[in-house]
């Protein structure tokens, strides 16, 4: 019985280590990715993380930068690009928003 308990305990520890590694890796990955979208008020926003929500209302992203530019100010193609949620680097996402802001000033 002691060997069986030791084996079960070892399997549980390995499973816990693997699960912890997966969770930490996922969290690190979500911190390295950015995407464009619009917030609840329609402003073009740079988000950090991945564009997914988990059950229970857990978002895998957070706002990083909110532009003063709204989605209706964009052309249809620009709106499609912003709402495509393409994964980008932080610099690429910010450069794209700044380009949109320059091109769509009144």
CB 47 within 8 A of CB 77: no
Q: Tokens for 17, please give them.
A: 């280590």
Paired strand residues for 106: none
And the tokens for 97? 């928003």
Per-residue tens of pLDDT for the chain, all 106 residues: 688 888 889 898 999 999 899 888 877 877 889 999 999 999 999 999 989 888 998 888 999 999 999 999 999 999 999 999 999 999 999 999 999 999 887 6
CB–CB of 47/61 below 8 Å?
Answer: yes
**pLDDT, position 28:** 81
Contacts (Cβ under 8 Å, ≥6 apart) of 2: none
Contact 71, 44 (CB under 8 A): yes
């Amino acid at each position: 019985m002691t060997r069986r308990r030791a084996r079960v305990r070892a399997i549980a520890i390995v499973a816990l280590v693997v699960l912890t590694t997966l969770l930490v890796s996922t969290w690190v990955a979500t911190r390295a990715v950015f995407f464009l979208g619009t917030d609840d008020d329609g402003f073009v926003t740079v988000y950090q993380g991945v564009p997914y929500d988990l059950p229970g209302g857990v978002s895998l992203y957070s706002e990083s930068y909110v532009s003063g530019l709204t989605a209706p100010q964009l052309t249809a193609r620009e709106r499609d690009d912003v709402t495509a949620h393409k994964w980008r680097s932080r610099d690429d996402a910010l450069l794209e928003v700044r380009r949109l802001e320059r091109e769509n000033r009144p």
